Structure 1
Amino acid sequence: MTPRSLFVTPLYEASLAGEKGFEDFIDALHDACVAIAEEDEAGQAWGYNKGYLGYTSYASLNDLPQRDSLFADLKKKLDRHAAAFARDLCFDLAGGKLVMDSFWINILEPGGQHTGHIHPHSVISGTVYVTIPPGASAIKFEDPRLPMMMAAPTRKTDAPETLQPFVYVRPTPGAILMWESWLRHEVTPNQADEQRISVSFNYAWR
């Protein structure tokens, strides 16, 4: 007898790296992220008050595509990937559409991390990776059934990825990851000697 896999948790993976002009685009995006972080006093204050080792524009800016055309170009690229992921998920949008309703910069200093969380009020969430130095932290995904496994034995270390309670993905510059927004995830401590820079986003159904 062969077991069937039920109720899978898809992770969408793509990359900007194969596109024409990628190196120039990703370098310019790095510079834009750093420049905005240096100017965003509200975002800096939020990070300081929260004890966050780094910078995020999540709580301070909501106009990245209007602020810099690079982010407008990036949004167009991500819109296409989100549409492809929605097709993979067989979403019936019932005449509606997925709309990017939040778009923010993340800069993790050495030692910085994002603790476990989900993205409420969204359908698809994700991140595109801009600067990933050697030793930069992975993103860690958690099996959504984990709270119901209190009596289950641990998995063998060589268990297939589909059976692991946690999956770690180490991105490369230009990588795009998307997942359904209810999937709990975190960013492990940045063990690199340099900043780890990414841009995250949410899509809502409207």
Structure 2
Amino acid sequence: MPQIRSLFATRLYRAALSELGTAPDAAELTESCYSIAEDDDAGQEWCEENDYPGYTSYASLTDLPWRFPIFADLVTLLDAHVAAFAEDLGFDLGDRALKLEDIWINILPEGGTHSSHIHPHSAISGTTYVAMPDGASALKLEDPRLPMMMAAPPRRKDVREDLKSFIYEAPKVGDVLLWESWLRHEVPMNLAEEERISVSFNYAWT
């Protein structure tokens, strides 16, 4: 009998924030995101200048956990989830650690998208979901081998998950998704009439 094994796995971590501690109140976190966005003139200007749909604090605010205690509480939980994921990945961290590098708010309106990208210089990236109305975009993850499949035929539609070229992960409010930062991902068009709110972050090996 031939042996066929799966090699070089791409891991995706999904859990409820509350699995490893007390999650921030969803309504308070939503209100905080809107309050920050309203007061962040630099962030609003950056979004307008760069044709970014909706709002992100990525280019303007680097100290959310210091400014808002609810974000400090969130980071404490994220630290625990990242540690669990790093254990699953078999990382040998040595005398260094995975530490939060960036954390930012995303508010995506109806029709908004976030194009395909990676997070260079980080080890683990992720997102936790604050508001996911009906019709809100799933996260689209891309097989990192695609650039090397120059002569490969397409996959059947019913192929098993670990052989798909793209995976669409539809999280719920309060979920956290983690992946290695080299994994290309995007947010397709938000078809919901209401805004999709998430908080994204990077952890670096320092």
**Is TM-score (shorter-chain normalized) higher than 0.5?**
yes
| 1:9 Cα deviation after fit | 0.2
SS of residue paired to 2:34: helix
Aligned to 2:205: 205
Does the Cα contact within 8 Å between 1:136 and 1:191 map onto a contact in 2?
yes
Length-normalised TM-score, structure 2: 0.96
Aligned to 1:58: 58
Aligned to 1:130: 130
Superposition pairs of residues 38-187 of structure 1, within 5 angstroms: 38-187=38-187
What is the number of residues matched between the two proteins?
A: 205
Take 1:19 and 1:172, find their aligned partners in 2: how far apart are those partners?
A: 17
Does the Cα contact within 8 Å between 1:17 and 1:173 map onto a contact in 2?
no
SS of residue paired to 1:95: coil
Aligned to 1:13: 14
| 1:19 Cα deviation after fit | 7.6
Take 1:17 and 1:123, find their aligned partners in 2: how far apart are those partners?
A: 23
Whether 1:26 and 2:26 are equivalent positions in the alignment is yes
Letter in 1 for 2:102: S
Take 1:16 and 1:3, find their aligned partners in 2: how far apart are those partners?
A: 36
Does the Cα contact within 8 Å between 2:21 and 2:77 map onto a contact in 1?
no
Letter in 2 for 1:164: K
Take 1:54 and 1:5, find their aligned partners in 2: how far apart are those partners?
A: 40
Take 1:20 and 1:135, find their aligned partners in 2: how far apart are those partners?
A: 29
Take 2:21 and 2:81, find their aligned partners in 1: how far apart are those partners?
A: 17
Give unpaired runs (5+ residues) of structure 1: none
Length-normalised TM-score, structure 1: 0.96
Take 1:2 and 1:157, find their aligned partners in 2: how far apart are those partners?
A: 24
| 1:3 Cα deviation after fit | 1.1
Whether 1:195 and 2:192 are equivalent positions in the alignment is no
Letter in 1 for 2:129: Y
Cα-to-partner distance string for 1:138-188 (whole Å, 9 max, x where unaligned): 110000000011110000000011000000001110010000000000000
SS of residue paired to 1:78: helix
Cα-to-partner distance string for 1:118-151 (whole Å, 9 max, x where unaligned): 0011000000000000000011000000001111
Give unpaired runs (5+ residues) of structure 2: none
Aligned to 2:5: 4
Runs of 4+ that moved beyond 4 A = 17-22
| Identity level (%) | 58
Take 1:20 and 1:58, find their aligned partners in 2: how far apart are those partners?
A: 26
| 1:50 Cα deviation after fit | 1.0
| 1:18 Cα deviation after fit | 5.8
Go from structure 1 to structure 2 and tell me whether the alpha carbon gap of 1:48 and 1:121 turns closer, same or farther (over 3 Å shift). same
| 1:71 Cα deviation after fit | 0.2
| 1:89 Cα deviation after fit | 0.5
Letter in 2 for 1:27: A
